[in-house]
Amino acid sequence: MQRVFLWSLPLAGLCALAPVILRSDALVVRLDGDRLRVAAPNLRFLSGRPMERLKNGAAVPFDFLLLLWAETHSGPRRRAAERFVVSYDLWEEKFSVARWKTASFPQESVSHLSQTAAEAWCLDRLSLPVSELAPATDFWMRLEVRTAEAGPETPLIESTGVSLTGLIDWLSRSGRESQNRRTLEAGPLRIENLKR
């Protein structure tokens, strides 16, 4: 007869749930027509220091970078970058978000959003084309969200589109800014296995 200690049962239950807990923080990728879109249900970039700035009346810009690697994982094959400027209404306790105007996209804005809705609105505007990816090709995706601080820096997004100098600056920043950057990854993935 095998003995089972009562204290081991809750531990076994937690171990069984561990994969679910770990996956809940992952980047969720789905296929929308000929575009790849992402969701990050547990990503809370409107928190901490940026939230303090918002509650002090500042508009806070956030830079989003979506990268896709295929097969070798040696370098990004596709990338999309967007800048969103978020503000907070203290009276209504609601957020407003404006998408930075680029040559590809006109300025777009929305207001009276909850925190979760404001974060989701930004992610809904990010996508990458699936062209050049065969259905059975393994690929990986990474989402980086960075709070743009006041001070001299090369902007990632300019009025004409993604700045090459800004992209190099973004990718070469040191770990000192890690508290202002959130990164999520997903993969390996295949187009044929994605939800539509």
In order, the DSSP letters of the chain are: -----TTHHHHHHHHHHHHHHHHTTSPEEEEETTEEEEE-TT---SSHHHHHHHHTT--EEEEEEEEEEETT-SS-SEEEEEEEEEEEETTTTEEEEEEPP-SSS--EEEEEE-HHHHHHHHHHT-EEE-TT--TT--EEEEEEEEE--SSS---SEETTEE-HHHHHHHHH--GGGGGGEEEEEEEEE-GGGS--
- Per-residue pLDDT of 100-111, as tens digits, reads 866 555 578 999
Q: In the predicted model, what is the mean pLDDT of residues 138-149?
A: 89
The pLDDT, as a whole number, for residue 84 is 94
* The total number of structural domains that make up the chain: 1
pTM: 0.69
* Residue 93 is assigned to a structural domain of this protein: yes
CA dist 111 and 158 (Å) reads 23
> For the ranges 17-26, 100-109, 129-138, which has the lowest average pLDDT?
17-26
* Residue 79 is assigned to a structural domain of this protein: yes
* Residue 110 is assigned to a structural domain of this protein: yes
Of all residues in the chain, what percent carry a pLDDT higher than 70? 66
The domain of 49 spans 25-193
* Residue 7 is assigned to a structural domain of this protein: no
* Residue 13 is assigned to a structural domain of this protein: no
Identify the residue with better confidence: 68 or 16: 68
CA dist 194 and 81 (Å) reads 23
* Residue 6 is assigned to a structural domain of this protein: no
164-167 LR contacts (CB < 8 Å, sep 24+)? 167/65, 167/79, 167/81
